[in-house]
Structure 1
Amino acid sequence: MNLLAFDTSTDALSIAVQHGARVWQHSGAGGAQASATLIPAIRDLLAQAGLSFDQLDAVVFGRGPGSFTGLRTACAVAQGLAFGARGGQGVPVLPVDTLLAVAEEARAQHGCTRVVATLDARMNEVYAAPFEWQADGRWQVPQDFQLLAPEALAVADGWTVAGNARAAYGERLAPQAPHMHALPTAAALLRLAPALLAAGAGVAADAALPRYIRDKVAQTTAEREAARQAAPAPQT
């Protein structure tokens, strides 16, 4: 398959291109810089692989959870590239959960098969979800994604915590569990893509959307004022 994959959900930008059995990779600074560097880096990597947009079978991106700005950037770029490919006929877009990509990276790099994937959600919270590798070569998700304080993460015996949240919260995050650093890399997205595409997870460009676990990070002025008025008066 000919695939383009990228993730901008964290502070690290990750891009990978698969041309047949070969893979080319690029990494760089994510965050606010990703919106300016993503498309030029994609063009350069496709050129290295000897591919054009019209030769792609799908565009794969990390849909979240993660940085709001990063997710919007990745989704918009994936939609635009997919719409314009093949002379405007378009190619499918495959949105992949970033926590799933964390679990896959932990498996590939460290051999982990029972992973609690975590990503720093900022604001003293983490995104988390458990994943268990099955004999058929697929990941099972025992429960839905969570947004919680690092101290609230419960990890059963035999499970490894993987992601980038440990670096942010240290011993506040599952101190008794083994930890592995892992990010939702574009290479992980490529490894996940064939099975997901075969299962029908690819969508038309206009149906590709980010996945937000935290729906809102800021209150409007009116909401702050309403909260202030509803708060109990201080004791005197």
Structure 2
Amino acid sequence: MTSKILAVDTATENCSVALKIGNDTIVRCEMAPREHTVKILPMVDSVLAEAGVTLRELDALAFGRGPGSFTGVRIGIGIAQGLAFGADIPMVGISTMAAMAQQAYRRNQSTQVLSAIDARMNEIYFGGYQRLDNGDWETVHAEAVLPPEMLAAQLSENAAISAENAWAIAGTGWPAYPDLASQLHLSVTESGVLYPESEDMLILAHHALLRGEVVDAEHASPVYLRDTVAWKKLPGRE
């Protein structure tokens, strides 16, 4: 099955778009912490124009569903919904942390990855992933938001994350808490991955398509992990 998939992500400081058609991948990626709304649509237009295709010719539109910045996740899903609805194509939500695991594999051939994003408020978003033989990824530690000092205890209770194996670490959570990795009693290696990129969402979206895990635009939803806190921080909310 050859899929034509567009992926967009604005969940973190990084803003990225990628288009997969056959064996060709076209990528636009730029660090733009406060310019996502300005950058993302021109990026989409650019990759479509380079490929010579329209949105209606695509099989799906993948989007970074989070976790990440509350505002960034909302921007990404809102723009993706508008594009998918207008073109009448299905959507696929992709974990930003699973995308970082795939990026670690793309860069370093890492097959076991611990992803952590700095969630502010003395917390991290965390998830553990293991690559399968078919190129998809299995979640071996459920995605969660937690204080970094609680991570070692959680991992010690997870038999799937063994100290006998080497684990690559990815995401902004590790440099935000420089002593965190050494507290885990695991063999860890640096992956060089800090932010998710849409290019790495394409392979995950491909496997999701094969499993039929698509939704109509009006049913696409984000994953905040800490949505109740973010909601309370909005003006006028208790």
After TM superposition, the score normalised by the length of structure 2 is 0.85
Shift of 1:174: 4.2
Q: Which residue of 1 aligns with 2:221?
A: 209
Name which of structure 1's ranges 65-74 and 35-44 shifts more when overlaid on structure 2.
35-44
The SS at the match of 1:144 is strand
Task: Measure the CA separation in 2 of the matches of 1:36 and 1:174.
Answer: 40
Map 1:36-185 → 2, pairs under 5 A: 36-85=38-87, 90-154=88-152, 156-157=162-163, 158=165, 159-175=167-183, 177-182=188-193, 183-185=195-197
Q: Cα deviations across residues 181-221 of structure 1 (Å, max 9, x unaligned)?
A: 32321110112121111111111111111111012234577
Shift of 1:38: 0.8
C-alpha distance 55-117 of structure 1, shift in aligned 2 (>3 A): same
Whether 1:198 aligns to 2:228 is: no
Structure 2 unaligned residues grouped into runs of 5+? 156-161
Letter of the structure 2 residue corresponding to residue 130 of structure 1: G
Task: Measure the CA separation in 1 of the matches of 2:237 and 2:216.
Answer: 38
Task: Measure the CA separation in 1 of the matches of 2:135 and 2:18.
Answer: 22
C-alpha distance 53-222 of structure 1, shift in aligned 2 (>3 A): closer
Shift of 1:81: 0.5
Q: Cα deviations across residues 38-95 of structure 1 (Å, max 9, x unaligned)?
A: 112211221112111121111111100001111111111111111111xxxx001011
Runs of 4+ in 1 over 6 A off after TM superposition: none
Q: Which residue of 2 aligns with 1:2?
A: 4
Q: Cα deviations across residues 122-178 of structure 1 (Å, max 9, x unaligned)?
A: 222110011112234321112321111223222542222222222222224445633
Letter of the structure 2 residue corresponding to residue 180 of structure 1: S
Task: Measure the CA separation in 2 of the matches of 1:179 and 1:151.
Answer: 20
Determine if contact 2:14/2:196 at 8 Å carries over to the other structure.
no
Letter of the structure 2 residue corresponding to residue 171 of structure 1: D
C-alpha distance 207-133 of structure 1, shift in aligned 2 (>3 A): same
Task: Measure the CA separation in 2 of the matches of 1:2 and 1:221.
Answer: 43
C-alpha distance 149-27 of structure 1, shift in aligned 2 (>3 A): same
The SS at the match of 1:187 is helix
Q: How many residues align?
A: 219
Q: Which structure: larger Rg? A: 1
Task: Measure the CA separation in 2 of the matches of 1:15 and 1:47.
Answer: 13
The SS at the match of 1:145 is strand
Determine if contact 2:170/2:192 at 8 Å carries over to the other structure.
yes
Shift of 1:114: 1.4
Determine if contact 2:136/2:203 at 8 Å carries over to the other structure.
no
Structure 1 unaligned residues grouped into runs of 5+? 224-236
Task: Measure the CA separation in 1 of the matches of 2:33 and 2:208.
Answer: 27
Letter of the structure 2 residue corresponding to residue 77 of structure 1: I
C-alpha distance 149-48 of structure 1, shift in aligned 2 (>3 A): same
Task: Measure the CA separation in 2 of the matches of 1:205 and 1:41.
Answer: 20
User: What fraction of aligned residue pairs are identical, expressed as a percent?
Assistant: 34
Task: Measure the CA separation in 1 of the matches of 2:214 and 2:200.
Answer: 17
Root-mean-square deviation (Å): 1.9
